[in-house]
Amino acid sequence: MKNSTNKQGITSPLLKRSIRISGLTLAALFCLSLYDGQTAFAKTPHLTSKVQQATTITGKVTDNQNTPLSNVTIQDINTQSATNSDANGEFTLRVDQLPTSIEVRIVGYQTQIIEIKDSRPLQITLEEDISDLEEVVVVGYGKQKKVNLTGSVTQVGEEVFEDRPIANATQALQGAVPNLNINFSNGRPGGEGKVNIRGFASINSSDAAPLILIDGVPGNINNINPRDIESISILKDASASAIYGARGAFGVMLVTTKRGKAGMMNIQYSNNLGWGGLTVNTDFMTSGYDAAILNDEAFIRATGNSYTGYTEDDYAELLKRKEDPTLPEVVIQNRNGKDQYVYYANTDWWNTFYRKNQTSMEHALTFSGGSDKIDYYVSGRMYDKGGIMKIQQDEFKAYNMRSRISGTIKPWLKVSNNSQLNYQKYSYPGWNSSADANNNFISTTVHALPSYVPRNPDGSATYRTEINNYNIGDGIMADLL
């Protein structure tokens, strides 16, 4: 018994240390498990919260008469996801999180932005956009409000044409009206745009132009002072043909000009100064040596003859000018028994003939007023714009005058007069009979050899020398001086 008791009461130092270490280990593991449990526990509500945030919003859209509105667009502003209301005005929209904001919109009603904090059903009431529906639109047989229109009609007001450096109305309309195509065949100052309403998919010809009526009279929209335009209505669909017959087959543009209003005389003066630059600055070869040798190599391979007529000595002189541009560009040599000019230049023909900037100027003066018996509107305009030609600048000028007066003499007798004077002029350098046919000048400038110069040392224009038959540079300066 005694031995047995002693055995049970004896504990070795090694065993004590082992038990102590094991206890510490267990305590550490227990604390670590508590830390991990707390971390996992902290993350779990976050994951659960994300799942709860994605929800579905339902609701109904009506007008102020409690009539359901269909095809109303309901869009989540944060995610751009959207849906439309059905025939009963009801909708369902899934959103990623709450709170959020939705946009509710439809043509003819005021757009609403609504903040959503929970998923309770929504009851949305839209108010009519009176300012849009009550706008008066000029149509073929008079005037109507937009709310009563069933055809496709687009209208632009005077704000499109005011305070802009434009030569004519088509320049202002470009990009201002959906599905109205305006193309310019050239970039000259005062260029007139060709108008197309129905598109070019099926018919593409000069005859596919809309009927343009200015105060009820057929006319050219490019001849009007843009500041005189009050509004332009564009009839796009078949209703135009129903009113105007075959003339309205390609659409109709109805131009309404301004008229005087009752009250004191109103005098308005305005001016506009514009400045513009080239969208593309062409960089041509200006080395006389490089251009001459490239042309000759190509021409000799094709025809066996020299293109420039330069000799080996001439090429040596051109190479010297390439390395040292300060050497004389024109020398006098005796060739074929007489003295003549020989050219070793490095001319930048493009920058010699074309400007990098153009300016425009406009002055306009208007007198208007009237009473309950008479109204008057008198206007004048001067417009001037320079082109890109440098030595002899091309220039567009336009003068417009309009007088619109109407008076009531008797209740049954009203007299009115609407007169317009228009003058336009485009001056350009060249030797063709019209601006559209004047392509020789551009072609000549592009093809002129850099080894030639614009003028001879004595001030005369450059002409062909007897050492070559190259006449592209011939007479350019002579035609401009």
pLDDT, tens digit, 9 for 90 and up, residues 281-296: 777 888 999 999 999 9
pLDDT digits (tens, 9 = 90+) for 292-341: 999 999 999 999 988 888 889 999 999 999 999 999 999 988 877 777 78
pLDDT above 80: residue 86: yes
Euclidean distance between CA atoms 182 and 221, whole angstroms: 12
Q: Between vectors from CA 299 to CA 294 and to CA 301, what angle results, nearest 5°? A: 100
Range 410-420 average pLDDT: 92
Torsion of Cα atoms, 305 then 310 then 315 then 316, to 10°: 130
Q: How confident is the model at residue 91 (pLDDT cuts 50, 70, 90)?
A: very high
Q: Between 144 and 361, where is the model more confident?
A: 361
Pairing assessment for the beta strands 112-116 and 100-105 based on DSSP bridges: antiparallel
Rounded Cα distance, 27 and 143, in Å: 92
Determine the pLDDT at residue 13.
42
Q: Residue 120: exposed, middle, or buried by beta-carbon count in 10 A (0-12, 13-18, 19+)?
A: exposed
CA 107 to chain centre: 26
Asked whether residue 79 carries a pLDDT value surpassing 70, the answer given is yes
Per-residue model confidence (pLDDT) at position 434:
52
> Could you give the domains of the chain?
55-129 (2.60.40.1120), 133-260 (2.170.130.10), 288-346+439-480 (no CATH)
Kindly calculate the radius of gyration of the chain based on its CA atoms and give it in whole angstroms: 41
Whether the Cβ atoms of residue 381 and residue 399 lie closer than 8 Å to each other? yes
**How many angstroms from the chain centroid is the CA of residue 5?**
106
Cross-strand bridge partners of residue 112: 104
Q: What is the mean pLDDT of the chain?
A: 77
Q: What DSSP line would sit under 293-352, residue for residue?
A: HHHHHHHHHHHSS-SS---HHHHHHHHHHHH-TTS-SEEEEEETTEEEEEE-----HHHH
Which residue, 187, 184, 163, 186, is CA-closest to 175?
184
pLDDT for position 108? 75
β-pair type (55-63, 122-126): parallel
Highest mean pLDDT out of 77-81, 315-319, 426-430: 315-319
| Lowest-confidence segment of 119-128, 135-144, 222-231, 352-361 by average pLDDT | 135-144
Cα–Cα distances (Å) from 432 to 250, 429, 441, 457, in that order, read 34, 9, 9, 29
Percentage with pLDDT > 90 across the chain: 30
Taking only the tens place, the pLDDT of each residue in 174-216 is 888 877 888 887 778 888 888 888 766 555 555 678 889 999 8
What confidence tens digit (pLDDT) does each residue in 165-175 have? 888 999 888 88
> What is the amino acid identity at position 271?
N
Q: How many residues does the chain have?
A: 481
b/e per residue, 393-405, with b = 16+ CB within 10 A?
Answer: ebbbbbebebebb
Q: In angstroms, rounded to a whole number, what is the distance separating the alpha carbons of residues 318 and 333?
A: 15
Provide the strand spans (E) within 371-443. Answer: 374-386, 395-410, 413-427
State how far the Cα of 62 lies from the Cα of 83, in Å rounded to an integer. Answer: 16
Taking only the tens place, the pLDDT of each residue in 252-276 is 888 999 999 888 999 999 998 888 8
**Among candidate residues 349, 236, 331, the one with its CA nearest the CA of residue 282:** 349
According to the model, what pLDDT value does residue 51 have?
Answer: 41
Interval 361-380 mean pLDDT? 94
What's the pLDDT tens digit per position in 119-168? 889 999 998 876 554 555 555 545 545 434 445 678 888 888 887 888 89
Q: Concatenate the DSSP letters of all residues of 223-254 into one string.
A: GS-GGGEEEEEEE-STHHHHHHGGGGTT-EEE
Taking the CB of residue 454, how many other CB atoms lie within 10 A of it?
18
Q: Which residue has the tokens 């040392």?
A: 457
The mean pLDDT of 217-234, rounded to a whole number, is 91
* Mean of pLDDT values over 55-72: 90
